[in-house]
Amino acid sequence: MSKRIALVASHGPEAQAELEALKQRYGSVAPEEADVIVALGGDGFMLRTLHRHLALGKPVYGMKLGTIGFLLNQFHLDNLQERIARAQATVMRPLSMRAHAESGTTVEALAFNEVSLLRQTKQAAHIRVSLNGIVRIEELMCDGVLVATPAGSTAYNLSAHGPILPIGSNMLAMTPISPFRPRRWRGAVLPATTEIKFEVLDPYKRPVSATADSSEVRDVIEVLIRESTEHTMTLLFDPEHNLEERILNEQFTV
């Protein structure tokens, strides 16, 4: 049985052109009325699609019409209904970030890739790291630190020399960015149930920002991170290009 499709695309000229071609061939309904959302673009647009339509809970099938496309399938105009019918589902559970700012405000945001803390000035950040209420690093001196999901472990986390995590591993990667002290600490792999707290030491002299995917909070003093228990999104992948296989391939790419 054919699925009702909601077609969405990035603003790039190629994505917009193929959007019109797909609409003519398969039609398109509003995301609220669809059985599946088809996203055309790159990984950045896919992340925006996941955030924008999170409340709907509809599966998302992406096709690459952007730069990287790690979270997307290859683009083909033909056989879209057949590809969706045989696609394999990967359930993604985002990170929940609660950031307390120096101004007294509290901001909550979700991240399907990572939550990152970064220094805002030339001064290195000084951050206390606690896991499940226990201080593990009294003072981390660094340019920043991030916590990545398995899906996000091949993005910013990998460029910061963090570990690649298999999908379904129920683990998180905590990776420092240009750490100075402790000298030998290069990060950790944590159970996904871990509650993480970052406290910014000397926030006035050494201000730090926190970012959950693309949602940034400036001048934070404390950031709490945990895996969300309320939200999930389902991504659909062609069997020959499923996300688990892609992450496995990344671990053997030299």
With contact defined as beta carbons under 8 Å apart, do 118 and 128 qualify? no
| Structure confidence at residue 244 (pLDDT) | 73
**Which CATH number is correct for 95-227, 2.40.110.10, 1.10.645.10, 3.30.540.10, 2.60.200.30?**
2.60.200.30
> At the top level of CATH, which class does the domain 5-93+232-251 belong to?
alpha beta
| Structure confidence at residue 232 (pLDDT) | 94
Angstrom CA distances, 51 to 26, 63, 151, stand at: 25, 17, 15
For each successive 10 residues of the chain (254 residues), what is the average pLDDT?
A: 92 94 96 97 93 95 85 93 94 96 96 97 97 97 97 92 89 96 94 98 96 96 96 92 72 69
Q: What is the DSSP string of 11-76?
A: SSHHHHHHHHHHHHHH----GGG-SEEEEEE-HHHHHHHHHHTGGGT--EEEEE-SS--TTSBPP-
| Structure confidence at residue 249 (pLDDT) | 72
- Distance CA(106)–CA(93), nearest Å, equals 22
| Domain range annotation of the chain | 5-93+232-251, 95-227
Residues 6+ apart with CB under 8 A from 151: 71, 92, 112, 113, 167, 243
Catalytic machinery residues: 43
| Structure confidence at residue 252 (pLDDT) | 74
The residue whose two tokens read 């496309």 is 69
| Structure confidence at residue 117 (pLDDT) | 98
pLDDT of 202-252, one tens digit each?
A: 999 999 999 999 899 999 999 999 999 999 999 999 987 767 777 777 777
Q: Is 23 left (phi over 0), alpha (psi -120 to 50) or beta?
A: alpha
| Structure confidence at residue 245 (pLDDT) | 74
Tell me the pTM: 0.88
| Structure confidence at residue 254 (pLDDT) | 61
182: preceding bond cis by omega (within 30 degrees): yes
pLDDT of 187-203, one tens digit each?
A: 999 999 999 999 999 99
